[in-house]
Amino acid sequence: MKMHRENPRYHKFDKVKIQSEIEQQRIGLLGGLTDFLLAIEANEIAVIQFDHLRKYIQFEIDDVKELIMEFSVYLISIRREMLLTEPGYLNFEKRCKKIGEELNNICSYLYDYRIELMNSMLGEMFDSQVPIRKPRDPKHKILTEVAIKEEVEKEAERRELEALEQGRGKEHPDPEDTDNQ
């Protein structure tokens, strides 16, 4: 979009194409999540002590999926002309940046998770440990700093209750609601 704003004759802005690319990225994210979960579940006995780390990563992925869906709805609903204004462009850029940051966090957490598992399972055997990631920017944290077991378990419970409540709402519509009849 930035190139289109700078030179619209040569760089076309196509919301449909962007929407299609977003959907492809979302599908890729879901495929990666599936592969991750299958690999963990296949070795669950060996990684059970790290289940809170897996859950935290899953929450992060779920949250970024939601961000992507919100972005998709935003992109469908906003007029092209509005996107090409300065405020529209800045909002678009801010949303894209947020999704990018969240995806980068997930990549970093997956790296941290792999290191934790490797050190736990193979560290003694090889009498060695892989060093943990040390982010240069203090605002970036490693997985074991953000995925505190008790907090992750509380969040898992909260999300489960929320999902149950949403499910109940669909199964048992309000009898007073005449729109459902």
Percent of the chain having pLDDT more than 90?
Answer: 57
81-114 residue pLDDT tens? 898 889 998 999 999 999 999 999 999 999 999 9
Q: 130 is in which domain, residue-wise?
A: 2-169
Q: Residue 144: inside a domain, yes or no?
A: yes
Q: Residue 177: inside a domain, yes or no?
A: no
Residue entry with tokens 């999902």: 163
Residues 6 or more apart whose CB falls under 8 angstroms from that of 47 comprise 40, 54, 117
End-to-end C-alpha distance for the chain, whole angstroms: 44
Q: Residue 71: inside a domain, yes or no?
A: yes
Tell me how many domains the chain contains: 1
> So what's the pLDDT on residue 16?
80
**Whether pLDDT at 52 is above 90:** yes
Length of the chain equals: 181
Residues 6 or more apart whose CB falls under 8 angstroms from that of 99 comprise 64, 67, 68, 71
CA dihedral 54, 114, 133, 131 (to 10 degrees): 130
> So what's the pLDDT on residue 174?
53
Q: Residue 180: inside a domain, yes or no?
A: no
Q: Residue 149: inside a domain, yes or no?
A: yes
Q: How far apart are CA 110 and CA 30, in angstroms?
A: 15
Q: Residue 176: inside a domain, yes or no?
A: no
Q: How far apart are CA 91 and CA 85, in angstroms?
A: 10
Q: Residue 128: inside a domain, yes or no?
A: yes
2-40 residue pLDDT tens? 655 565 655 566 778 888 888 888 888 888 888 887 887
Mean pLDDT estimate for the chain: 86
> So what's the pLDDT on residue 149?
97
Q: Which of 106, 96, 83 is nearest to 22 (CA)?
A: 96
For residue 150, count other CB atoms closer than 10 A to its CB.
8
Q: Residue 174: inside a domain, yes or no?
A: no
> So what's the pLDDT on residue 181?
42
